[in-house]
Amino acid sequence: MMKQTMPVEGKFELMTLPYAPDALEPIISANTLAFHHGKHLAAYVNNLNAALPGSGLEGKALEEVVLNAQGGMLNNAGQILNHNLYFSQFMAPKADNAPTGRLAQAINEEFGSFEDFKKTFAGAGATLFGSGWVWLSADANGNLRISQEPNAANPIQHGLRPLLTMDVWEHAYYPDYQNRRPDHLAALWQIIDWDVVAARYEEE
């Protein structure tokens, strides 16, 4: 069971970034982060909060809203969940950044090696047509899988536990990388906080 995100007095809150606005530079610029978190994610939060009253989903965890809402409400809730997972998995750039422990072992078992995993994952991100997200998730038995999700979809909608994600909506990379989505995805490996990803894997 992944951690549940609860509303406070009936409203979901814009997550606080666990690092300084310029901490992810030059991979994600402070400017991109300011728009992505402070404008895009904030709009999804405001839109969902406006739609909650009378929906029957008031007071439910964000994950429950994603599993039960439809239409625009599902899109906004999905984008909040996706972005919360996305923004909380980063840290300042580090060369030779790689997972360790049980997660590293699971990656090696499923994909052959960390290098092969990165190739498959980034390939899934590069070939996802239009807007969406690429995910590493765990199934109920702890087996890993990579999936492409369109628009605002999240692996919890398929009974999977999301561990790691890359946002391939243009707003995530266009200011820094323009049309070079694969270059952006390749650079993101330097700022993945594998301790966060491993903790999600251990949650069960």
Residues at the interface with Mn ion (CB under 5 A): 167, 169, 172
Looking at the Cβ atoms of 172 and 198, the one nearer to Mn ion is: 172
Looking at the Cβ atoms of 172 and 192, the one nearer to Mn ion is: 172
- Which candidate, 50, 82, 53, places its Cα nearest to that of 66? 82
The residue number whose beta carbon is nearest to Mn ion equals: 167
Looking at the Cβ atoms of 32 and 144, the one nearer to Mn ion is: 32
Least distance from C-beta 184 to Mn ion, angstroms? 12
Contacts 24+ apart (CB under 8 A), 95-98: 95/190, 97/189, 97/190, 97/191, 97/192, 97/194, 98/194
| Coil, helix or strand at residue 133 | strand
Q: What is the rounded radius of gyration, in angstroms, for the C-alpha atoms of the chain? A: 16
Looking at the Cβ atoms of 72 and 112, the one nearer to Mn ion is: 72
Least distance from C-beta 46 to Mn ion, angstroms? 15
Least distance from C-beta 181 to Mn ion, angstroms? 13
- Which candidate, 87, 96, 65, places its Cα nearest to that of 17? 87
Q: Would you say 156 and 53 are in contact if contact means Cβ atoms under 8 Å apart?
A: no
Say if residue 93 is preceded by a cis peptide, omega within 30 of 0.
no
Looking at the Cβ atoms of 52 and 81, the one nearer to Mn ion is: 81
